[in-house]
Amino acid sequence: MAFKILISDPLSEDGIFPLRQAEGFEIVIETDMTPDQLKERIKDFDALLVRSQTTVTKELLEAADQLKIIGRAGVGVDNIDLDAATEKGIIVVNAPDGNTNSAAEHTVAMMMSMARKIPQAFNSLKNNKWDRKSFLGVELKDKTLGIIGLGRIGAEVARRARGQRMNVVAYDPYLTEDVAKKLGIEIGTVDEVLEVADFITVHTPLLKETRRMINKEAFEKMKDGVQIINCARGGIIDEDALYDAIVAGKVAGAALDVFEEEPFLDHKLLTLPEVIATPHLGASTFEAQESVAVDVSRDVVNFLTIGSVRNPVNLPSVSRDVLAIIEPFFDLTEKLGMFLSQIQNSVIHEINIQYAGELANYDVRALTRNTVKGLLKRNLGETVNDVNAKLLADRYGIKVNEQKTTTGKGFLNLITVEIVTEKGVRKVAGTLLNGLGARIVKVDDYVVDVIPSGHLLFIRHRDQPGAIGRVGTLLAEENINIAAMQVGRSTEGGYAIMMLAVDNHVESVSIKRIKEVQNINDAKAIDL
């Protein structure tokens, strides 16, 4: 069965080449649909690719019965209801690197055009005026550029500004002294950036905390004659406050590529000669348009075929190097969760996951989500996945704890999953054995060596002669073939467990008969 991909905004053909190249993908391109048309059309699709034109609302997602992934060909995802997507288990991916260079170049181009009044001079020339006196500009050399938000694009702008021999002071909540030193810039608070900068550029996402952060109060803290650039997101700058600051002479120039409401055509800012503007062109280069589409197309193909993505928005991002290390453990962690969910019948209050050995040195949150998914699958089925597993656990009041220790306890890596229920604590531990694959190596306090796949029988019994033989005889009567068997015990003559790999699912009638066997305390059919 082919995966169906809907592309609702224009994307370059070269950009969607990874989708064209992949086998088993049906691609439908339908742009300029109304919201109602898209809502009707989305029902049978596995993936949706958009740019900024399509608004992905909660109502749209409620109609998307088969949707598994949304790809945003660009950086911003404010046109997508992330909470609704996460709740429904739909992963959202974007292309954070694809337009970095393009956006940084546009920012610097706008700053230089504003500083030298190039658009205004060109318009004058087009009107048959040779006016050299009205367009006196300023040099960038030795001026201070203030950058608010030093992510990928902000850092690239900083590098280019240093190339223009500008002084750079930046604010970012995650900016460290080491990074600042490598870039040759200074760190400042938001207020310090506003107070010392001759030019100010913003490169933050549009959040509740950043909406209109450049407002009347912020302008009052700036130097007289400051010049402002916004090629990030519309709404970071209070446009009415900017207009007032320009009219009052506080701000000498503004270069804007993004606006709070687009298209931006009738605002009074456009009447001011100090303002230059472009219609959201930061990512509008041939290279960027192709690159962002390629990035999300690859993520869509990888997610639908092998379940991994490089640039998730509603999941913590995992670097390619780390993903290569933890990816072999994905199947194991899900199976550990599934195993635990099937050996207990109590309400889960807490999940404790411990990573021992080399894994303790890496970001393993993706493995934690995968484990929680395996645990919840028994009761929630396919409605739970890596995207919404943690959200659903929170909703059900299940506390999830992640622990790490570099001591491998005899293994290169060991993952132990413990659940706290109304009836006590149950746990299972697993590892990957070099050349042999995944193994369950401990159940509760019993040491075993079991491949976590297929159909298993988990039996608790008294460590007495004849118990194993009686179970084997009964399974033969039930026509259940044993493929492999492991026995574990804590003390001689005490409680013990049997783990049997069998060829088929063991029906409840057979489980009932096993429980009636002498010295058998419990039996569970486990399907992995």
What SS3 class is residue 350? strand
What SS3 class is residue 483? strand
CA distance 131 to 204: 38
Q: How far is CA 445 from the centre of its chain?
A: 36
Catalytically annotated residue among 51, 233, 310, 426: 233
Burial of residue 152 (CB within 10 Å: 0-12, 13-18, 19+) is middle
Do residues 478 and 503 touch, judged by C-beta distance below 8 A? Answer: no
For 23, the token pair is 């086998």
DSSP letter, residue 327: G
Using N-to-C axis directions, what is the helix angle for 286-306 and 100-116, rounded to 10°?
160
DSSP letter, residue 101: H
Do residues 307 and 69 touch, judged by C-beta distance below 8 A? Answer: no
For 226, the token pair is 């400051």
Q: Spell out a b/e string for 47-63, using b for 16 or more CB atoms within 10 Å of the CB, else e.
A: bbbbbbebebbeebbee
Catalytically annotated residue among 280, 365, 455, 462: 280
CA distance 72 to 99: 12
Rg of the chain in Å (alpha carbons):
30
CA distance 254 to 493: 83
Catalytically annotated residue among 262, 287, 422, 507: 262
280 is catalytic: yes
Element (H or E) spanning 443, and its range? strand 437-443
CA distance 141 to 28: 51
Asked whether the CA dihedral 487, 489, 493, 497 is positive or negative, the reply is: negative
- Known catalytic residues are 233, 262, 280
